[in-house]
Homo-oligomer: A and B are copies of this chain.
Amino acid sequence: MERKLPNLIPGADLTGSRIEQLSTPIPVIDEDRLAANIARVQAYMDGQGKAFRPHIKTHKVPALAEQQVAAGAKGINCQKVTEAEIFADAGFDDILITFNILGPEKLERLVALNEQISGLKVAADNDVTVRGLSEAFASASRPLVVLVECDTGGGRCGVQSPEAAQALAEAIVAAPSLTFGGLLTYPKAFSEEAVEVFFSSTLKLLEGKGIACPVVSNGGTPSLFEAGKVTSATEHRAGTYIYNDRAMVRSGHCSYDDCAMHILATVVSRPTEDRAVTDAGSKALTSDLLGFDDFGYVVDYPDAVITGLSEEHGVLDLSKCAPDARPQIGERIRIIPNHTCVVSNLVDHMVFHRNGVVTRVEAVAARGRVW
């Protein structure tokens, strides 16, 4: 028996519907907020004279990357070869993959991708990765551009010192099949000073060795509007800013009114005076806490606290809501998730609207690229 997915009739069928008619739980994106987020960040980067490279992880939708590039973005940032393939096939050429690519299958696909597009770049923070890239590209028709990832305090990947960055840059320069592309970091938010010290120290060392550093790439949305303080950075990468989320509001990057993604949910149970249960569980909101104690901001009931999630249930504590202002069974509520990027990875299609009227349904083309 062939069935249409609920509410997922892309294009004409759904366009023009009211979002109130959509079956819940469902994330929806406000077109005007989306456009304003793109424009505001691009204008800031333009004003700082920095190239801007949006990270597609937040939306995973080629049409949105096209909007970002149309606004002035220099290229895009992916995290996986399999994501980059989707965007290369969609016509993007300037793609930076900010990840250590290891293993025969990924390297084989990377070589093929580098034949397809001329603007491919990857990151490395260790010798093993550089050796693997060097060997994989030994007989490639053009060298692969490799940037050195620096840990400027973020505590994830990255070489630990300017000296180590220099050494790895030298290894890349020495590999005939590779080209040194520059430096990059995914920093701790609001640590612009530390980032600048790391970058400028490394640049000095590279200059001493006569190694040109075409790109110095900083990143992150939370303190994006401080990016100008990293004077040595030539570009900035950010993903979350396009949709924004509760964590970005907390960081001061934006307000709730700048959050383009709402999760529409329905109250399905009111077991007690103080408890509501919605159909938005971890399959709709994800269990990302990002430092919060609860699982999202309830726009319509700001005093409600989403205390627990199972896959298909969200449990709300209403005890701080006034007794006469609590959601009823069947009522629809809007939730701003803690983290939008992970929500995008849960849905095959994303619904966009303007003032509550559906404007388009986009396939989340790079969703589910787990590998």
A313 contacts partner chain B, Cβ-Cβ < 8 Å: yes
> CB < 8 Å: which of B88, B269, B288, B346 contacts A345?
B346
Q: For residue A351, give the distance in angstroms from its CB to the closest CB of chain B.
A: 11
A1/B89 in contact, CB under 8 A: yes
Please indicate the chain B residues that have their CB under 8 angstroms from the CB of A155 in the complex: 275, 308, 315
Which residues in chain A, 24-75, are within 8 Å of chain B measured between CB atoms?
24-26, 57
| Chain B residue, CB-CB nearest to A124 | B269
A342 contacts partner chain B, Cβ-Cβ < 8 Å: yes
> Which of A3-11, A198-206, A208-216 sits within the interface?
A3-11
B80/A312 in contact, CB under 8 A: yes
Complexed CA–CA distance, A5 and B158 (Å): 29
Interface string of A343-371 (1 = CB under 8 A from B): 00111100000000000000000001011
Complexed CA–CA distance, A159 and B341 (Å): 36
Number of chain copies forming the complex: 2
Complexed CA–CA distance, A151 and B313 (Å): 14
A271/B125 in contact, CB under 8 A: yes
A255 contacts partner chain B, Cβ-Cβ < 8 Å: no
Interface string of A305-331 (1 = CB under 8 A from B): 000101111010000000000001110
> Which of A100-108, A134-142, A187-195 sits within the interface?
A100-108
Complexed CA–CA distance, A21 and B19 (Å): 45
A171 contacts partner chain B, Cβ-Cβ < 8 Å: no
> Which of A173-181, A229-237, A244-252, A276-284 sits within the interface?
A276-284
B329/A126 in contact, CB under 8 A: yes
| Chain B residue, CB-CB nearest to A310 | B156
| Chain B residue, CB-CB nearest to A81 | B6
A223 contacts partner chain B, Cβ-Cβ < 8 Å: no
A266 contacts partner chain B, Cβ-Cβ < 8 Å: yes
A269/B24 in contact, CB under 8 A: no
Please indicate the chain B residues that have their CB under 8 angstroms from the CB of A346 in the complex: 345, 368, 370
Please indicate the chain B residues that have their CB under 8 angstroms from the CB of A348 in the complex: 368
| Chain B residue, CB-CB nearest to A307 | B155
Size range of the chain A interface in the assembly:
35 or more
A82/B158 in contact, CB under 8 A: no
Please indicate the chain B residues that have their CB under 8 angstroms from the CB of A371 in the complex: 5-7, 22-26
A225 contacts partner chain B, Cβ-Cβ < 8 Å: no
Please indicate the chain B residues that have their CB under 8 angstroms from the CB of A106 in the complex: 6, 23
> CB < 8 Å: which of B22, B102, B329 contacts A329?
B102
- CB contact under 8 A between A311 and B342, given known A268-B100, A277-B156, A277-B157: yes
Please indicate the chain B residues that have their CB under 8 angstroms from the CB of A341 in the complex: 311
Complexed CA–CA distance, A139 and B245 (Å): 44
A85 contacts partner chain B, Cβ-Cβ < 8 Å: yes
A105/B6 in contact, CB under 8 A: yes
B26/A370 in contact, CB under 8 A: yes
Please indicate the chain B residues that have their CB under 8 angstroms from the CB of A100 in the complex: 268-269, 329
| 24 contacts across the A-B interface (CB closer than 8 A) | A3-B85, A6-B82, A6-B109, A21-B105, A22-B371, A23-B105, A26-B371, A57-B312, A99-B312, A126-B270, A126-B329, A128-B329, A129-B329, A151-B271, A155-B308, A155-B315, A156-B271, A156-B277, A156-B313, A157-B271, A283-B345, A287-B289, A311-B345, A347-B370
